[in-house]
Amino acid sequence: MTTTQTSVVRDLGALAHRLVHPARTRCVCGPPEVLADRSDGTVVRSGAIVAKAHAAGTDRGALAARLALAAAPQLAGILLAPLTAAENPVFAGSVPGSRAFFDFAPGSPVFSDSAPDSLASSDSAPGLPESPGHPGFAPRPVTLWPLGTPVDATDPDAAPWAEAAVLLARLHRTAPPFPLPPMRGPAKAARAVARMRAALPGDPAVPPVLTAWQTLPGWARGEAPAPARRAGFLCHGDLHLGQLVRHPAPDGPWLLIDVDDAGAGDPAWDLARPAAWYAAGLLAPKDWSAFLDAYRSAGGPAVSATGDPWPELDVPARALTVQTAALALAKCAAERREPDEIEQLMIASCSRIATLPPELTVDRTS
């Protein structure tokens, strides 16, 4: 962890602690807990408050729309809602029109004594203003969330596949309450492929993944809009079991979290990761059946109510297979290691996709 990353974690923890623990009262809180620390965001929890610093290059308008979606009454009981200005005065002076995030930069009046510097990022996107007095650093948007209880990764038999499917079906059946940006799934897949290419130029492991990528239609590679008849649904954009929590903690109902990729798009994309895992042998048939049956029973529109679901799922599942393999190869290059067993299964799946005859890779959803 770099010095900047360490400072971000420290400052987010201090921010969350300040909100959960009033000043000048006896503190019995434990140390802040790092929940995630990646290039696209750092997440730290203190008590019942979770603070997330998004990447400096985050589109503020799109983020505001996605946070408004999570807070919309139509999505209550489906998406975890963020904490807002009405609940926390720390949002004073936030971006105009936004009540659920603020741009944090050196000198921001978030702390009574001083504002931490590290929530300004050195990986700023072109066009973002630098923080005054800190050349090369751009503000990072910060959001605050109530704590939920995540899925227990040590108990796979209790994984809430059916509950996740029902939440997705409810999300997909809900009409968008206002205009939204596109769901970011295809764009994330394209970034994963670009990351792999940059990390492993000339590596023999790359061509099968790229060939599998080229079998996909343009919309699944983020190069064109999704087919019109499937493009207007509310989508989560990055569904996996890490995107569910029980709220209120510890045993409230399951809710979907992390709306960073949410938007309008093809709902089949939200079923694609479980479908890809099932096709690769990583998801047990009973879990896939529970997921698919629950989704259909709840009226989910991504697949037909009966019969073969693969005409709708094939393209998104292949795209998520490529994305997963590309990220695995890029991470292996960065960590100077060989792919583990699970990563190798997804890479091998790309090799199989790359050898499919053209008639089996035609987009049947358009």
Q: What is the pLDDT of residue 132?
A: 46
Q: How far is CA 242 from the centre of its chain?
A: 9
Mean pLDDT, residues 81-105: 61
Summarised one tens digit per residue, pLDDT across range 161-174 is: 999 999 999 999 99
Q: Give the pLDDT of residue 112.
A: 37
Q: Which residues of 94-131 are buried (b: 16+ CB within 10 A; e: fewer)?
A: bbeebbbbbbbbbebebeeeebbbbbbbeebeeebeeb
Residue 2: pLDDT band with limits 50, 70, 90: low
pLDDT tens, position by position, 116-148: 444 444 333 334 344 444 445 578 899 999 999
Q: What is the pTM of this model?
A: 0.88
| pLDDT value of residue 56 | 87
Asked whether the beta carbons of 363 and 217 are under 8 A apart, the reply is yes
90: pLDDT strictly greater than 50: yes
Q: What is the pLDDT of residues 174-229, one digit of tens each?
A: 999 999 999 999 999 999 999 999 999 999 999 999 999 999 999 999 999 988 88
Across residues 47-75, what is the average pLDDT? 93
The pLDDT of residue 22: 64
**What pLDDT does residue 39 have?**
77
Percent of the chain with pLDDT over 70: 81
Residues 6+ apart with CB under 8 A from 262: 66, 69, 70, 180, 183, 184, 234, 235, 236, 237
Mean pLDDT of the chain: 85
Q: What is the mean pLDDT of residues 88-110?
A: 54
Under the banding of pLDDT at 50, 70 and 90, the label for residue 247 is very high
